Structure 1
């Protein structure tokens, strides 16, 4: 299993709820979590395929938010 980390502008439960369906629709995503207490509002995605970063970014953007892939949590 691979882990992808994204810096996001998801700051509340409502924001997370807005992206939930889009992220859950990505077949290769095994699980995900948003840490709104971190300075980067870190989205951590567990996946079987680390090539899906663009799919995750598109899913977040589709809901009106931003996500940028980062190498590791800050």
Structure 2
């Protein structure tokens, strides 16, 4: 399985805390990670899921994602 990467508007660790329950519910704990050091704030999802499900979870938390 290949990881799916998204450019996001997540900016800080507080933002990560806000999206955590939504992403954990959508793709499972330990199946995603946000690189806050990357200027694009890349979210990497390693779970077997689809792009729409990840975007929906982020939108519920008030964030956006664009597949890279």
TM-score clears 0.5: yes
Q: Which protein is richer in helix relative to its size?
A: 2
SS in structure 2 of the partner of residue 47 of structure 1 = coil
Which of these two proteins has the greater Rg computed from alpha carbons?
A: 1
Shift, 1:48, TM fit = 2.1
Equivalence for 1:43: 43
Distance in 2, Cα, partners of 1:2 & 1:30: 15
Higher strand share: 1
TM-score by length of 2: 0.88
Contact 1:29/1:45 (<8 A) preserved: no
Query: Which structure 1 residue ranges, 4+ long, deviate > 4 Å from structure 2?
Result: 27-30
2:58 aligned residue (24, 45, 60): 60
- What's the TM-score, normalizing by structure 1? 0.82
Aligned residues, how many?
68
